[in-house]
Amino acid sequence: MAKLVFDIETLAQPIDLYDEAQQEYLFREAHRLPDATASEAKRVEIENMMSLWPLTSRVLCIAMLNADTSKGQVLFAAEDYEPEEESADGPVEFVACMDEAELLTAFWDVARHYDSIITFNGRGFDVPFIYLRSALLNVPISRRDWLGYRYSTEPHCDLAEQLTFYGVSGRDGAGRRFNLDFYCKAFGIESPKAQGIDGTCMADMVEAGRHKEIAEYCLRDVVATTKLYHIWKERLAGVK
């Protein structure tokens, strides 16, 4: 069966897109703190979290690879992107999209050709995020079964679930969850963050027009996830 490995990058929307009532709701916890310093710190914390919520952020990029062939595509939103001279013969195609709706439409067109998906924390983040963003933008969803039965690796194998044995020991036990960077280093895989870029860099990179670098970073996440998947499949798949 064809398996698609994918990852997304997101960015919080500007605060001024929200009306007064929405802003009050978003920052209510900060407003309730009597100390001005603590209130401001809480506001910054909330602003940083907004990139994780599909109602307050958008999809910047989706990188995809076929788990068996390592061929794939990276879609990234960049209205003003001017492509460089690139070879079309490589295993991965980089595609600039005019906006998020075009990006998501292209993603769902690819997804319908795959039987199952592989992610790292996709059940908790990537999948619900793209479902809701697609609904908000009225983009048709071609696969509606990726949040099905949690304790199955078909059609969705979430490595964050598999490597913690579905959270068998809670936060602090032997099966505690680590981030992708930590798992990669532990299993001898080059970390996608080895070049000094992570999710906190997205706003500055977008501002600087570094769209292709965002796409390349997202692809490194997917390459690492693919390698981790093959290690899990060979050494741990089937453990109950």
Structure tokens at 217: 């970073």
78 and 172 together in one domain: yes
Residue 97 lies in a domain: yes
Average of per-residue pLDDT across 150-176: 94
Number of H helices, E strands in the chain: 9, 6
104 and 91 together in one domain: yes
User: What pLDDT is stored for residue 81 in this prediction?
Assistant: 67
Asked if residue 83 has pLDDT above 70, the reply is no
Asked if residue 88 has pLDDT above 70, the reply is no
122 and 51 together in one domain: no
68 and 37 together in one domain: no
44 and 153 together in one domain: no
202 and 174 together in one domain: yes
Structure tokens at 206: 């977008």
**Cα angle for residues 164, 107, 51 (degrees, 5° grid):** 60
Residue 27 lies in a domain: yes
Closest of 127, 61, 59 to residue 92, by C-alpha:
61
Residue 217, judged by CB atoms within 10 A of its CB (0-12, 13-18, 19+), counts as buried
pTM: 0.94
Average of per-residue pLDDT across 162-176: 92
135 and 70 together in one domain: yes
Asked if residue 85 has pLDDT above 60, the reply is no
Answer for the pair 163, 183: CB distance below 8 angstroms, yes or no.
yes
User: What pLDDT is stored for residue 170 in this prediction?
Assistant: 85
Residue 240 lies in a domain: no
* Exposure class string for 44-74: b at 16+ Cβ within 10 A, else e: eebeeebbeebebbbbbbbbbbbbeeeebbb
85 and 141 together in one domain: yes
pLDDT over 70 percentage in the chain: 96
Residue 30 lies in a domain: yes
What DSSP character marks residue 50? G
Per-residue confidence band for 87, with pLDDT thresholds at 50, 70 and 90? very low
Residue 26 lies in a domain: yes
The enclosing domain of 101 has a CATH number of 3.30.420.10
Per-residue confidence band for 82, with pLDDT thresholds at 50, 70 and 90? low
Give the three-class secondary structure for 134. helix
88 and 33 together in one domain: no
Per-residue confidence band for 200, with pLDDT thresholds at 50, 70 and 90? confident
DSSP result, 97-120: ESSHHHHHHHHHHHHTT-SEEEES
45 and 151 together in one domain: no
User: What pLDDT is stored for residue 201 in this prediction?
Assistant: 85
Asked if residue 171 has pLDDT above 70, the reply is yes
Structure tokens at 57: 């952020």
pLDDT digits (tens, 9 = 90+) for 131-151: 999 999 999 999 999 999 999
8 and 30 together in one domain: no
Average pLDDT, rounded, for the chain: 94
Asked if residue 84 has pLDDT above 80, the reply is no
Q: How many CA atoms lie within 13 A of 166 on its CB side?
A: 9
102 and 7 together in one domain: yes
Residue 198 lies in a domain: yes
Residue 33 lies in a domain: yes
What DSSP character marks residue 144? -
Domain that holds residue 197: 3-13+56-235
User: What pLDDT is stored for residue 156 in this prediction?
Assistant: 98
User: What pLDDT is stored for residue 104 in this prediction?
Assistant: 98
Residue 135 lies in a domain: yes
Number of domains in the chain: 2
